[in-house]
Structure 1
Amino acid sequence: MKKSLSRIVVPALISCLLPLHQAFSQEEPLEAANTIFEELLPNYHYEYIPDFTYDQVAKRIKAMQTGMPFELNDRIFSFIQYFTVRNRDYTKMVLARKDKFFPMFEETLLKHEMPTDIEYLSIIESGLDPQIKSRVGAMGLWQFMPATGRMYGMHVNSEIDDRMDPELSTDAAAKYLKSLYRMFGNWEVALAAYNCGPGNVRKAIRRSGGKTTFWGIYDYLPKETRSYVPQFQAMLYILNHLEEHNLILEEPTYPIDYDKVRFDRAFSLEKLAELTDLCLKDLEELNPSIKHRSVPESNRSMAIRVPKTKSIFLKENLAWISDSLGNKPNNVLLASSQLIEVTPVEKAISGNRITYQVKSGDVLGSIASRHGVSVTQVKEWNNLNSNLIKVGQTLYIYSGKSQPSTASPNRSLAENTNSSGPKTYTVKPGDSLWIISQKHSLSVEQIKRLNNLNTNNIKPGQRLIIG
C-alpha cells in the first residue's frame, strides 16, 4: 500500500507545483518548481554498510601485521559488529580525530620501545577528546586519575591540569603501561591492569588458580575490564580495515603546527591573543591543560604552545610582549630537577667558611658537588627544609677540618663515613626512578645524570648513586 500511495502522492504534488512557475522568471520556471519540490520532500541519506562474516574477519585478523597479535572470538566479534554497524557514528568521529594525535602517539611509543598499536587504546579511553572527564574524575586522552597523574609528574590543581596535555599525558601513559607490562609480561593483561588496577589483576590471577593470560583470568576481572580489552582489539582491527567496512574519512582533522615560547609571569590567554593577533581558539586548543584561559603565578617559567607561523615574531619580541602582558615576573625558584651548568663561583672566604650567592642556573646538587660537600650538609648549615633555592640567596658552605658539628656524634660518624664515597641505593622490586627520587629528595633527572642513565629503566639489585 505504501508503494502505490507514493506513486499517487508524488505526481499529484508535482501537478500542484506546476502553476507556481508563473511567479518566477519565464526563463527558469522548471528550476523554481524543482527548488520548492526539494524543500518540501524529506532529504534521505543512505549509507552502504557491507556485510561480513565471522570467518572473513578471522582471516583478516590472522593476516594483520601487528605488535599486539590476537585471535578472534565471539566477544571481540560482537564489538566489531557494534562499531561498524550499530555505532558507526562513534567510529567516524574518532576516525576524524586520529590524524591529530596518532603521529605524536607513535613517536612517544617508539621512544619508549613499545608497540605503536597501543595508540588505539586512547580511542576506548577517551574517544580522542583531551578534555573529557569521567564520572569518577579521570581526565584526558588517557583518563588519568589525579593521584596517578601526579605520580607521573603531572601538575593537577585548580589552575593547571596536565592530564589534558596530549604530550605529557601520552608520555605518562606510555611509562605506566610499560611498567604494567614488566609486571605481568603480557600486553593484554597489562591493558586490563591499566583499566582496573594491578591489584585487581593480581586478585583475578589468584582466583583463576594462577593463570596469567587475559582470557584465562577473564571471568575473575571486573565487568568493565572484561569489555575493555575486547573493545581495544575490535578497534585495532577496524582501523586497519576501514575500506572493507566502508568507513571512509572525508574531512580529517590535523594538528596545528606549533613551537613553544617560555613566559616568566602570570597572564591571560586573551591578553596574549590580543597583543599578538593570535587566534584565541588556537591557543586554547594548543594549551588544553591551562584552565580558565589563565597562566597562573608559579615558581617556574611556563612554556606556552603557539602556532609556528607566529613563533618567530613572539621570540623576537618577547621582552615587550611580556611587559605588555602586565604582572611582575615570577620569583622563579630553582628546583633540583633543573640541572644547568653552574657559572664560576665567587668566593668570599672567611676562615673555612665560604659565603656563596645563588645565581641563575644554580641547584643545591651542583653547588655541593663543586665545593666537595653533600647536599644534606649544605641544607643543615643553612637551615633549609627542601632543595629549593632562590636567585640572590646567600649560602654558607664550610670546608676543611673546622666544619661545625650539627648532629649527634653517631650521626656525624655516619656522615663522615659516607663522605669518603658516593651515597648509593640498591633497587628493590617495585621501585621506579620516581619512587626512589621521592624517598631521597631528588629529581628523576638528577638520578639519571648521577648514574649516566639514558632511560628510566632500572632493575632490582641495581646500585644507584643518590648523593
Structure 2
Amino acid sequence: SGIEGNFALCEGSVYMDEWRRIFDSQFIAKNRHFYKRNSKLQSALEAARSEEYTKLLLPTLSNFEFDYPVVINEDVIKWIQYFQTRGRKAFVTWLKRAEDVIPQSAPVLEKFGLPKDLIYLAMIESGFNNKATSVARAAGTWQFMRATGRNFGLKLNDYVDERRDPEKSTVAAARYLTYLYTLFGDWHLATASYNAGEGRVARSMRGHSDKSFFALSAARRLPNETRNYVPKLMAAMIISKNPTRFGFEVSEGSRALRTRGLALEKSIRLADLATSIGVDLKVLEGINPELRLGVTPPGQEKSPYILRVPESSYATAFAAVDSLPQASRTVQVAARVKRKETVNQFASRYGISLSSLLKANPHIRPNVRLSKGQQVIIPVALGTGQYERLTKEDKVSKRKMRASARKGRSVKVASRRPAKSRE
C-alpha cells in the first residue's frame, strides 16, 4: 500500500512510532494466549516486528546493489531513523565528503578483492575525515590505533603519521580487513572485529552454538558499541546508495584538487615551498595530511620522499626545490606543566638534558619549582623518535602543529583538549 511505501522510506519518527504502536497492539491481541510468559511474548513480538520491517523495506532496496551482506532488521531501521533525525547534520557532511573520497578509495578495496561497500566503514569510523582523532587515540579516515597501523604497513615517526594519509591508510585498511575475513570467513564478524578487536569477537564465539553476528549480539556476547556497529554500517550503506529516497539532498562535493608527486631528497618546510611557488600553505597541508609538523622527512636519492603538490604548480615546485633551504632537524615545542615539579624532574620526565632545557628557557632558573599550567619550551630533535614518544605518551598536545623548523622558533602547544573530530 501507499502507507507501506512511505514507511519503507522511514520518512518520519512520528509515523514510524504510530506504525509500531498499531503493529504491536494487533500482534499482542492476536497472539497473547499462545505465550504463558510475557518475556516469550515480547521476544516473539520483536521477531515479528523485525520480519515486517524487512518486508516493508526490501522493496525499496530492490534496485540497490550491495557486495556486503546487508540485513534489514529493527536495529538497522533504528540507525536509518537516527541518521534522518538526530544524526542528520553529521550524515549530510559525510555524504558531501563521500563525493571526493569514494571514487579514490573504493578502487583500492576492489584491487584487494574486497567488497567495495566496505568504504562505508570509513564513513561511520570518521565521517571520511582524515583529521579525526578519537579519545582512544585512533586517528585518520580509518581510525587506526598506532600499533595496528604499524602492523599493517603505516609509518608513524617524528615527521609523518600515515594514518592520516587517505591512500596509504586505505591500503592498510584493506590489508587489515583481508586478515579479519581470513580469520572469521564472515563479513559481519570481520567488520565487528574492526571495532572490537579480533580477540574480543573470537572470545564471544566460544561455547556459543550460533556464531553469527546477530546471534552473538542478541545474546549480548559483544560490547554494546559493537552490537550497534554493524547495523550502523548497514544503515550508512543503505542511505548512501540512494540518499534522495531517504530525504537527503544530493549536492556535488568539492572537486578534489588534482595533484602530482614531487620527489624530495632533502627535508624542506612546507611554508618555504608555499611561499616560493605562490600556493596557500593550507592547500599544501591539506593534500599532505600525513606531515605532522609541516616539515618533510629527509629523503635520499634512491628513496626520496614523495610530496603532493597541485598538478598546476608541479613545474614551478620542481624548479624551486633546489633553492629552498634545508629544514632544521631541531624543533622547539611549547608544553604546559601538568603538576608542580622541579626543573630537574620536568627534564627527566621529558627525557631531555637539564642544560638543553635551560638553554631553551633562559627565563627559568635551575633551582625553581615549575607551576601547574606554566609553559615550558622543549627542544626536540627530529628523526630521533623524541617527538613521536612525546605525543604517544600524551605529554604534549596531539593537535597538528606548524613547525618553524628552519629558524628553530618555538611551536606553541595549547594545553590538552579532548581530541575528537568526526564531523
> What's the TM-score once normalised by structure 1's chain length?
0.56
Aligned twin of 1:325: 324
User: For the Cα contact (< 8 Å) 2:130–2:141, is it kept in 1?
Assistant: yes
Letter in structure 1 aligned against 2:283 = D
- Partner residue of 1:307 out of 310, 315, 325: 310
What does residue 341 of structure 1 align with? none
Equivalent residue number for residue 148 of structure 1: 148
Question: CA offset at residue 175 of structure 1?
Answer: 0.8
Separation (CA, whole Å) in 2 of partners of 1:250 and 1:71: 28
**Counterpart of 2:135 in 1: which secondary structure?**
coil
Deviations 1:363-415 (A, max 9, x none): xxxxxxxxxxxxxxxxxxxxxxxxxxxxxxxxxxxxxxxxxxxxxxxxxxxxx
How far the C-alpha of 1:328 sits from its partner, in A, is: 8.2
* 1:197-252 superposed Cα distances (whole Å, 9 cap, x missing partner): 1111110110423x332112212111111111110000101111211122013352
Structure 2: runs of 5+ lacking an equivalent: 1-9, 17-52, 330-423
Query: In 1, distance between residues paired with 2:207 and 2:132?
Result: 34
* Structure 1 residue 329, shift from structure 2 partner: 12
**1:208-287 equivalence runs, <5 A:** 208-209=208-209, 211-218=210-217, 219-287=220-288
Letter of the structure 2 residue corresponding to residue 288 of structure 1 = P
Q: Over aligned residue pairs, what C-alpha RMSD do you find?
A: 2.1
SS in 1 for 2:250: coil
Write the deviation string for residues 20-39 of structure 1: whole angstroms up to 9, x where unpaired: xxxxxxxxxxxxxxxxxxxx
Greater relative contact order (Cα < 8 A, sep 6+): 2
Post-superposition shift, 1:70?
A: 2.3
Which one-letter code corresponds to 1:91 in the other structure?
Answer: F
- Residue number in structure 1 paired with 2:343: none
Task: Provide the residue aligned with 2:164 in structure 1.
Answer: 164
Query: In the aligned structure 1, how far is the partner of 2:327 from the partner of 2:160?
Result: 20
Partner of 2:379: none
Per-residue deviation, 1:94: 0.4
Q: Secondary structure at the match of 2:309?
A: strand
Question: Which residue number in structure 2 is paired with residue 137 of structure 1?
Answer: 137
Structure 1 moving runs of 4+ over 4 Å: none
Using the size of structure 2 for normalisation, the TM-score is 0.62
Partner of 1:352: none
Aligned partners of 2:63, 2:327: CA distance in 1, in Å? 61
2:243–2:250 Cα contact (<8 Å) kept: no
Gap runs ≥5 in structure 1: 1-48, 331-467
Deviates more, 1:148-157 or 1:53-62: 53-62
Would you say the 8 A contact 1:84–1:238 is kept in 2? no
Deviation at 1:260, TM superposition (A): 0.2
**Which residue is 2:125 aligned to?**
125
User: What is aligned with 2:66?
Assistant: 66
CA contact (8 A) 1:265 1:329 kept: no
Residue 81 (structure 1) aligns with:
81
Q: Secondary structure at the match of 1:295?
A: coil
Larger radius of gyration: 1
Q: For residue 464 of structure 1, what is the aligned residue in structure 2?
A: none
CA contact 2:195–2:229 (8 Å) conserved in 1: yes
Residue correspondences, number? 277
d(CA) in 2 for partners of 1:188 and 1:60? 22
Please tell me whether the aligned partners of residues 189 and 212 of structure 2 are also in contact (alpha carbons under 8 angstroms).
yes
